[in-house]
């Protein structure tokens, strides 16, 4: 049987017929490429479904229309697929990386991650990007012959966007590029940029919808003001909601077009002919132009100042950190509070790795929670400890 290949690829794109393979050898898939198998495994895994009830800025119960991690991942994939197709990169691999990039995120977004990292400071720390790789390599339990999803090397290198040298030394081949100062494939570079474009622009939408930032405030941001003025001239009588959407879609389009044009020029200038040539570069080849990056960064700084540090968000952030910290401390102190399978895993880890192993299992459990389940577990654990006091 002829194995399917992804047609129309540039010579420097990731070719599924020449993947560096999987950690555990498997027969080749029928009617799918290796990267299609990766994408399908990600979509069907438990961690991906849980992203439906995990959020970045707004906690899940605060409203039904705000982005969740799963809708964010779909938006990232949509942006990245457009660029991948334009540059003749591997669209399927790009999509797989985008769909997997947030699998390791804690409940309550960055607030949860910061709290869990602090809790784990004596046990190796916690970083959501590294946790995403841990999810696909170790934590998903679906296959009889191996732990995790057994994804291809190219997908795994894309998930691991950044990594400390100390952690890189523990990750085998996928960690070597951080020690050699090399780049990942272009599909991985693209997924990273699409992530930034997506969350900047959808946070504008969600922030205005929540009433935490206003269109008037956003007009101090050059990228927004440029396209908002264009929209107001063309559609002065349409609704504010449509005016906002028309502005945001123009912003995204401008960023995507710039990314395609800038990256194409840099790829040509570098004269790369193979994915290994891409990896040997000292700097990424997928980039925004300097002028567009400056506008992108200005928007990011506005959101950091006006949305992410808004009093309402800060109040929720403090509550979220407290919930995560309390849960971790209680579960680490009293393993009987863990569900049976996690309790058994914690005991096995403690027997071979000591307290650090037990703490990692507790961190895995807490990180895997959705926003609303974390609240429920916090209430359960608090009640159980009060009853036993």
Percent of the chain with pLDDT over 70: 95
65 has pLDDT over 90: no
In this prediction, residue 3 has a pLDDT band, given cuts at 50, 70 and 90, of very low
Q: Which tokens sit at 357?
A: 């192993």
Q: Are 31 and 116 in contact (CB under 8 A)?
A: no
* Among the listed residues 282, 363, 380, 286, the one whose alpha carbon sits nearest the alpha carbon of residue 325: 363
Residue 2: is its pLDDT beyond 50?
Answer: no
Asked whether the predicted pLDDT for residue 138 surpasses 80, the reply is yes
State the burial class of residue 353 (Cβ atoms within 10 Å of its Cβ: 0-12, 13-18, 19+). Answer: middle
Instruction: Determine the pLDDT at residue 58.
Output: 58
pLDDT classification of 59: cutoffs 50, 70, 90: low
Give 329's DSSP letter. H
- What is the sign of the dihedral through the CA atoms of 249, 251, 252 and 258? positive
Render pLDDT for 140-189 as a digit per residue (tens, 0 to 9).
Answer: 999 999 999 999 999 999 999 988 899 999 999 999 999 999 999 999 99
- Sequence-distant (6+) residues with CB within 8 A of 325 are 115, 118, 119
Average pLDDT, rounded, for the chain: 93
Inform me whether the pLDDT recorded for 20 exceeds 80.
yes
Mean pLDDT, residues 38-52: 96
**Please, is 299 exposed, middle or buried when counting C-beta atoms within 10 Å of its C-beta (0-12, 13-18, 19+)?**
buried
Please list the residues that pair with 22 across neighbouring strands: 152
152 forms beta bridges with 22
What is the per-residue pLDDT across 225-248, written as a single tens digit (0 to 9) for each?
999 999 999 999 999 999 999 999
pLDDT score for 46: 96
Q: Residue 13 and residue 16: Cα distance in Å, rounded?
A: 10
Number of neighbours of residue 275 by Cβ within 10 angstroms: 23
Closest CA to 79 of 323, 258, 300: 258
Block residue for tokens 């605060």: 62
Count Cβ atoms below 10 Å from residue 277 Cβ, excluding itself. 15
Q: Which tops the pLDDT comparison, 99 or 386?
A: 99
Question: Which tens digits make up the pLDDT trace of 208-222?
Answer: 998 999 999 999 999
Containing H/E element for 33? none
CA 212, 216, 218, 220 dihedral sign is negative
Residue 115 has pLDDT above 60, yes or no: yes
Tokens 């691999």 sit on residue: 93
Q: Could you give the angle at the alpha carbon of 185 between the alpha carbons of 182 and 188, nearest 5°?
A: 110
Residue 109 confidence (pLDDT) = 85
Question: Domains in the chain and their CATH numbers?
Answer: 28-180 (1.10.3210.10), 186-312 (1.10.3210.10), 313-388 (no CATH)
- Model's pTM, two decimal places? 0.94
Residues near 98 by Cβ (< 8 Å), separated by ≥ 6? 73, 76, 77, 80, 191, 194, 195
In this prediction, residue 67 carries a pLDDT of 79
- Please answer whether residues 191 and 79 qualify as being in contact, where contact means their C-beta atoms are separated by less than 8 angstroms: no
- Segment 277-296 shows an average pLDDT of 97
7 falls in which pLDDT band (50, 70, 90)? low
Residue 284 predicted with pLDDT over 70: yes
Tell me how far apart the alpha carbons of residues 45 and 52 are, in angstroms, rounded to a whole number.
12
- Among residues of the chain, what percentage have pLDDT more than 90? 86
């Amino acid at each position: 049987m002829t194995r399917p290949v992804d047609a129309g690829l540039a010579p420097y794109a990731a070719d599924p017929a020449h993947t560096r393979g999987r950690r555990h050898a498997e027969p080749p898939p029928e009617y799918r490429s290796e990267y299609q198998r990766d994408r399908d495994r990600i979509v069907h895994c438990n961690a991906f479904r849980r992203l439906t009830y995990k959020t970045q800025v707004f906690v899940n119960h605060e409203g039904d229309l705000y982005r969740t991690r799963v809708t964010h991942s779909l938006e990232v994939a949509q942006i990245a697929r457009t660029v991948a197709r334009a540059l003749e990169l591997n669209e399927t691999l790009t999509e797989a990386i985008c769909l997997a990039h947030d699998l390791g995120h804690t409940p309550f977004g960055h607030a949860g991650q910061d709290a869990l990292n602090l809790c784990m400071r004596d046990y190796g720390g916690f970083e959501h990007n590294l946790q995403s790789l841990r999810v696909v390599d170790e934590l998903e339990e679906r296959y009889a012959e191996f732990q995790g999803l057994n994804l291809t090397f190219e997908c795994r290198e894309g998930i691991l966007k950044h990594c400390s040298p100390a952690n890189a030394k523990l990750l085998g081949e996928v960690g070597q590029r951080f020690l050699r100062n090399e780049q990942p494939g272009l599909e991985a570079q693209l997924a990273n940029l699409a992530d930034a474009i997506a969350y900047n622009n959808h946070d504008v939408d969600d922030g205005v919808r929540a009433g935490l930032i206003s269109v008037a405030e956003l007009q101090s941001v050059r990228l927004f003001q440029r396209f908002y003025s264009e929209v107001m001239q063309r559609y002065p009588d349409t609704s504010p909601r449509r005016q906002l959407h028309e502005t945001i879609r123009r912003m995204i389009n401008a960023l995507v077009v710039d990314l395609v044009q800038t990256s194409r020029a840099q790829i040509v200038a570098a004269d790369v002919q193979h994915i290994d040539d891409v990896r040997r570069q000292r700097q990424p080849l997928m980039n925004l132009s300097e002028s567009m990056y400056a506008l992108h960064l200005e928007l990011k700084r506005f959101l950091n100042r006006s949305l992410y540090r808004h009093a309402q968000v800060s109040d929720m952030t403090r509550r979220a950190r407290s919930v995560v910290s309390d849960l971790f401390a209680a579960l680490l102190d009293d393993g009987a509070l863990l569900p049976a399978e996690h309790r058994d895993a914690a005991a096995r880890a403690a027997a071979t790795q000591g307290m650090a192993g037990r703490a990692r299992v507790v961190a895995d459990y807490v990180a895997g929670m959705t926003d609303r389940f974390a609240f429920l577990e916090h209430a359960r654990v608090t009640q159980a400890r009060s009853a036993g006091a």
